[in-house]
Amino acid sequence: MKIYMSGKLVDEKDAKVSVFDHGLLYGDGVFEGIRTYNGKVFMLEAHIDRLFRSAKAIDLKIPMSRKEICKAVVETCKANRTYNGYVRLVVTRGVGTLGLNPYNCKKPQVIIIAASIQLYPEKLYKEGMAIITVGTVRNHTEAINPGIKSLNYLNNILAKIEAINGGVMEAIMLNTHGYVCEATGDNIFAVRGNMLMTPPSSAGILEGITRNIVMELASKNGMQVVETNMSRYDLYTADEVFLTGTAAEIVPVVEIDKRTIGKGKPGPVTLRLSEDFHVFARSNGTNIF
């Protein structure tokens, strides 16, 4: 495998990060997860725009232009023949001292990995997944703004640990007000009749790119799409619930906290949106080959 580091492609065995990189020492950096479908990088410009917004929010100067990073992503995918796969684009603060001062890091590092990914077993997409609510509360929006897709994912990891220890693969995180926020790595939706509901950005979510596409597709299908604060009651009593994310795509949820959702199987809205999303994803993107 070829990894893009410091402006060039290197062999996987030579892709090394300094122990003094603040990305390693403090989780100081930003990232994006990007999908490729049928030889195209999906929503590349949208991901790069979000990367630059995240970087600006933490005063991290990315040492490449948007155009240069787009080109580097395509080159990395091409080198690894990532026809249908996943790209992890990382920008660390770079090498610095053992102190917290980020301005001692003189050169941020751009890393691009293009490989395959299988986040959940195929069975869960066909039969649906069970999830639980966990005690780990989502970071307060004024502590770490959810719009910053940073390398510090400990909040999510702690919730993931609870999920796994609880016998499931995913969990619902609530915000500091007790409202539904998001899953450990995905956004969440509930279907009630012709209404599609999802938490707003003010609830403390990351506005996922897949999330936004699903909302557009639902609107085109004539659904009423509502961003609103949601309680667990809203999920328990919904006709359908599903998760969305770049890596996960659209995953039906059939059980929450031991409550059966709807009829206990993937519902028609979830299945239709999943089909529409895959059609859209496979026909849009930046050519690799």
Per-residue pLDDT tens listing for the chain (289 residues): 999 998 999 999 999 999 999 999 999 999 999 999 999 999 999 999 999 999 999 999 999 999 999 999 999 999 999 999 999 999 999 999 999 999 999 999 999 999 998 889 999 999 999 999 999 999 999 999 999 999 999 999 999 999 999 999 999 999 999 999 999 999 999 999 999 999 999 999 999 999 999 999 999 999 999 999 999 999 999 999 999 999 999 999 999 999 999 999 999 999 999 999 999 999 899 999 8
Q: Which two tokens stand for residue 207?
A: 């506005």
- Strand locations in the chain, DSSP E? 2-5, 8-11, 29-37, 40-41, 85-92, 109-115, 129-133, 171-174, 180-183, 187-192, 195-198, 224-227, 240-245, 249-256, 259-260, 286-287
Q: Is 149 a catalytic residue?
A: yes
Domain architecture of the chain: domains with CATH: 2-115 (3.30.470.10), 122-281 (3.20.10.10)
Q: Which among 67, 149, 220, 263 is annotated as catalytic?
A: 149
